[in-house]
Amino acid sequence: MNDHFSKVKEYLTELEYQIVEENEEDGLIVVESEGNGITNLVLGLADPLLIVEQFIVELKNPQPAIYQQLLQKSRDIIHGAFVLDESGSKLIFRNTHELENLDLNELEATLNSLALLLGEYSSEIIKLSKN
């Protein structure tokens, strides 16, 4: 896994993401990019996969209409999708990649997709956090 871990770190550095925490033994990297509105983005290396997850918001009072809205918005997300945690109340952006074939462009596309989502959907996300 060391080669994959090093490769992912190298890509993140090249993309100018700040690594705020890393644990090679557990295969975890936490990054941020203030300019993209991304904080505490978790990248988990679980060979053969790279799992990219960003906590978005806690849904205070989830209703079927909110879930429908999230599923519809998920269709518009270019790379990745909205998912819920096991409790059904934490909204997360998630994407996965095959580590074996991962390249810089693929990881960059996921990160750009998240940044675009946060920028375009921010007012709706704020509303979700208040309901």
Q: What is the pLDDT of residues 49-92, one digit of tens each?
A: 999 999 999 998 888 998 999 999 999 999 999 999 999 999 99
Please give the pLDDT value at position 9. 98
CATH code (residue 22): 3.30.1460.10
* 24: its two tokens: 């090679």
Query: Is the pTM here over 0.85, yes or no?
Result: yes
pLDDT in the model for residue 128: 81
**Residue 87's domain spans which residues?**
2-130
Comparing CA positions, the residue from 31, 22, 20 lying closest to residue 1 is 22
For residue 91, count CB atoms less than 10 angstroms from its CB and return exposed for 0-12, middle for 13-18, buried for 19 or more.
Answer: buried
- Tally the domains of the chain: 1
What is residue 14's predicted lDDT score, i.e. its pLDDT? 97
Q: If you average pLDDT over every residue of the chain, what do you get?
A: 94
Copy the structure tokens of residue 26: 């557990």
Q: How far apart are the first and last CA of the chain?
A: 42
* pLDDT surpassing 60 at residue 44: yes
Q: In the predicted model, is pLDDT for residue 114 greater than 70? A: yes
